[in-house]
């Protein structure tokens, strides 16, 4: 993972060594419960899509661990 962050920071003159955050964001209005319910799954898949881990629950800093029954670093409180 260290190599990924170093490689991402090479092309940006504002960054000395490593880039951890992706550029930009796009705000989305939460317009329905089903749209809201999609968001954790999307977020949990980001480390998988970046090829950092094979499964969402393998990413140490993800709440996907809690959803998979593995204790995470912080407790997840469901708003149901």
72 assigned to some structural domain: yes
DSSP-assigned letters across all residues of 5-71? HHHHHTT-TT-SS---SPS--------SHHHHHHHHHHHHHHHHHTTS-SSGGGSTT-THHHHTTS-
Low-confidence ranges of the chain (pLDDT < 70): 2, 8-9, 11, 13-16, 18-25, 79-80
Enclosing domain of residue 53: 35-80
Query: pLDDT tens digits for 31-50?
Result: 999 998 899 899 999 999 99
Which pLDDT does position 26 carry in this prediction?
75
In this prediction the pTM is 0.62
15 assigned to some structural domain: no
Domain count, the chain: 1
């Amino acid at each position: 993972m260290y190599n990924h962050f170093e490689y991402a920071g090479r092309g940006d003159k504002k960054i000395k060594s490593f880039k951890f955050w992706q550029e930009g964001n796009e705000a989305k209005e939460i317009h329905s419960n089903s749209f809201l319910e999609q968001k954790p799954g999307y977020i949990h898949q980001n480390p998988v899509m970046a090829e950092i881990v094979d499964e969402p629950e393998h990413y140490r800093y993800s709440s996907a661990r809690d959803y998979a029954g593995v204790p995470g670093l912080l407790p997840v409180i469901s708003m149901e």
